[in-house]
Amino acid sequence: MTKIVDSRRDFIKKTVAGTAALSFGGALTGFSAKSYAQIIGANDRIKVSVMGVNGRGNALAQNFARQDNCRIIHICDVDSRAMEKSIAAVGKIQDDRPKAIPDFRKSLEDKDLDVLIVAAPDHWHAPAAILACQAGKDVYLEKPASHNPHEGELLIKAANKYNRVLQMGNQRRSWPNVIAAIKELHQGIIGRPYYAKTWYTNNRGPIGSGKKIAVPDWLDFDLWQGPAPRENFRDNLIHYNWHWFWNWGTGEALNNGTHMIDLARWGLGVDYPIRVSSAGGRYRYSDDWETPDTQTINLEFGNNTKISWEGRSCNGLNIEGSSVGVMFYGEDGALKIDGGNSYTVYDLKNKVVKEVKNDTSIDARDITNPAQQLDALHIQNLFSAIRQGTSLHSDIESGHISTLLCQLGNIALLTGETLNTDPKNGHIKNSKSAAKYWKRDYQKGWEPKV
């Protein structure tokens, strides 16, 4: 998606092109923003605000700060402790400290702000991105794109209506060896690929039974809940465990399945499915965890192809030698992309015929910053789209589809039904029980609107 670039940014359009190699060099070899402080004037850098910085958001804030054509101007979080920690970390990278703005909506009022990074919990992803679009800001949106399918469709409408650049954070779309693997797949290195098996494994522990306690003085819990219907604060919710509660999170399928299902969809050249089924549950522990810790999702497509996902949150035994990955099966062989920037091609006799190895260190189980140097490429793709109108590697239309596939898996699980879906838009056919999950209930006054 592209948009008109205003005159205030004309200088950077010319500068970015001339310093692209230097920018990528800085991103990939660890140079700090201070190293390039004189190359691009402070007033011409892309000005960024970060929403949600306890975990992944703090890593993103530091990575964005390391880009020579960027300046973090605001850090926003409902947790005052996390906000101050991130401000200090970013301040050590760039030559000034960002301003603390607890409510990101106040940040959006700043006319100098260019981009909002949304790294808050899943229930805030789409509503915050929509508000940013309405405020005339571009958006870097962490996956999943939305909490439910309806919100994904609203995101597409918002990006189009307000003419904004909206990129989803499925960073592997910008990793060079992953791009090369998909290109080889499309060129027929294993013949016609017809099945993609994807997976994620981990050894997550129990979260226990939470106690309802007073909200800590460092937390604005009302703003944290935002569009979600109100529930009492409990001591095993914040931070991270919200992933496993349906009111705020979307489970492992969208937390980590989105990445690999996105690659599978890209490799097979498919969009919306025709049929979806899923099975699983909370099998390992007896605690407050609501979403599945063990789940399989099956997605069938109209071009006679299939994607499957296996998620094991509480047993980390690798599959195909990797904790996370995708294996494409074709007429003449198989191609594996593991959790890193690498791929392996096999023939039908299981012989390795090509192997492209990682060129940087990656930890797929690092929940906050598994691949900082490679992710910088995704950031620069966003900046290039904003300044020069180049194509996004992951625009919101594509991000919505990959998110929706995982959401449909969760809906199939919750209803116990095999879903028949419209291959034109992914909508569920002939099931009232499943259709009710297309949209969620919202706290009155917090409903996202376009």
The amino acid present at 238, given as its one-letter code, is I
pLDDT band at 364 (very low <50, low <70, confident <90, very high): low
3-state SS track over 259-284: HHHHHHHHHHCCCCCCEEEEEEECCC
Q: Left (φ > 0), alpha (ψ -120 to 50) or beta: where does 347 sit?
A: beta
| Residue partners of 185: CB distance under 8 A and separation at least 6 | 193, 267, 328, 330, 335
Residue 199 token pair: 């997976």
Read off the pLDDT of each residue in 311-330 and give the average, rounded to a whole number: 97
pLDDT at residue 75 is higher than 80: yes
Read off the pLDDT of each residue in 428-443 and give the average, rounded to a whole number: 97
Cα 191 to Cα 137, 184, 343, 425: the distances in Å are 43, 10, 16, 28
Read off the pLDDT of each residue in 309-322 and give the average, rounded to a whole number: 97
pLDDT confidence of residue 438: 98
pLDDT confidence of residue 357: 92
CA distance 429 to 410: 16
pLDDT confidence of residue 117: 98
Read off the pLDDT of each residue in 329-346 and give the average, rounded to a whole number: 96
The amino acid present at 162, given as its one-letter code, is Y
pLDDT at residue 3 is higher than 60: no
pLDDT band at 372 (very low <50, low <70, confident <90, very high): confident
Give 138-176 pLDDT, tens digit per residue: 999 999 999 999 999 999 999 999 999 999 999 999 999
Q: What secondary structure does DSSP assign to 31-54, as a single string?
A: --GGGGTTTS-GGGSEEEEEE--S
Bigger pLDDT: 367 vs 45? 45
pLDDT at residue 19 is higher than 50: no
CA distance 82 to 219: 10
CA distance 306 to 198: 11
Read off the pLDDT of each residue in 246-274 and give the average, rounded to a whole number: 98
Read off the pLDDT of each residue in 205-228 and give the average, rounded to a whole number: 98
DSSP classification of residue 228: S
Q: Where are the beta strands (DSSP E) in 105-181?
A: 115-118, 138-141, 166-168
pLDDT confidence of residue 359: 75
Read off the pLDDT of each residue in 77-85 and give the average, rounded to a whole number: 97
The amino acid present at 142, given as its one-letter code, is E
pLDDT at residue 365 is higher than 60: no
Q: Could you give the angle at which helices 20-29 and 372-388 cross, rounded to 10 degrees?
A: 160
pLDDT band at 44 (very low <50, low <70, confident <90, very high): confident
pLDDT confidence of residue 297: 98
The pTM for the full model equals 0.89
Enumerate domains of the chain plus CATH numbers. Answer: 7-172+372-395 (3.40.50.720), 174-210+220-366+398-435 (3.30.360.10)
pLDDT at residue 296 is higher than 70: yes
Q: What percent of the chain has pLDDT over 90?
A: 85
